[in-house]
Amino acid sequence: MTKFLRRTYMGLILFFLYVPVLLLVVFSFNASKSRGVWGGFTLQWYVDLFKDRAILAALRNTLVIGLLAAAISTLVGAVGAIGLYQLRRGWRQGLMGLVNLPMLNSEIVTGVSLMLLYTAMNLELGFLTLVLSHVAFCIPYVVLSVLPKLRQLDPHLPEAAQDLGATPTQAFFKVILPDIMPGIFSGFLLALTMSIDDFVISFFTTGMGVQNLSITVYTMAKRGISPKINALSTIIFVVVLGLLAAVNLPDLRRKNAKASRPPV
């Protein structure tokens, strides 16, 4: 009975998570603009999508801002995580509270605060302020991804490498960095995801002529969201699903290969 309840509970969670996505995919092929009436199968919305310059420009801005913000926040966050790891416990806990503040704080407070900061600095709201804002709220996610990998390291490994003739720089790049690289990569992907997903902070820190996808969809919602957004969302979903499969399938194959080997 307990096993049945667990499976039912997980099934309900998956149902509420993925049924809306499946409906979005289905209605991206709907010939009718109505989201409640099926008008037949069509690929017209995909054709119209690649003719819409506004949506394509928003998609380009989203990807460029996301990649820049993820790259910068990964570099800063990884260095910051290493610095925090080297501090004493009291200092580390105090600074970690400050690092976690952007995640715990309400996004609208962060967005308004950054907007006021840029205004006080006489920075024109636009592409630069968007990138800086995304870097600001992505850094904590990178720090939290890298720190667990640092805690798993043997603290004597760098010393052992230096005893064998490596310089401190060589010990870092050849011993420490390869071990924490999975955390850095996870932090990069998480920062990219958070940047692409963000709306509230982007809304307050963008300027005229610079819009990402979330702001474009919000603007469309006032007069009705075009089915072209359904088509774009379907493409993004398939691409992300493919990337997840490409990342996880090799590990799954290796685990299956190990499990199928006869015991020695």
Give the CATH number of the domain where residue 100 resides: 1.10.3720.10
Tell me how far apart the alpha carbons of residues 200 and 244 are, in angstroms, rounded to a whole number: 27
* 30: three-class secondary structure by DSSP: strand
Say if 48 falls within a structural domain.
Answer: no
- Please, what is the average pLDDT of the chain? 84
User: Could you give the number of structural domains in the chain?
Assistant: 1
Higher pLDDT, 190 or 250: 190
Say if 42 falls within a structural domain.
Answer: no
Say if 248 falls within a structural domain.
Answer: no
Asked whether residue 253 carries a pLDDT value surpassing 90, the answer given is no
Say if 203 falls within a structural domain.
Answer: yes
* 70: three-class secondary structure by DSSP: helix
Sign of CA dihedral 258, 261, 263, 264: negative
pLDDT digits (tens, 9 = 90+) for 188-226: 988 998 898 888 999 999 888 788 888 888 888 777 778
Higher pLDDT, 99 or 113: 113
Hey, what are 145's tokens? 């991804």
**pLDDT for residue 26:** 87
The domain in which residue 127 lies consists of 57-219
261 pLDDT band (50/70/90 cuts)? low
Say if 34 falls within a structural domain.
Answer: no
Say if 27 falls within a structural domain.
Answer: no
Say if 199 falls within a structural domain.
Answer: yes
**pLDDT for residue 259:** 66
Within its chain, how far is the Cα of 97 from the centroid?
A: 22
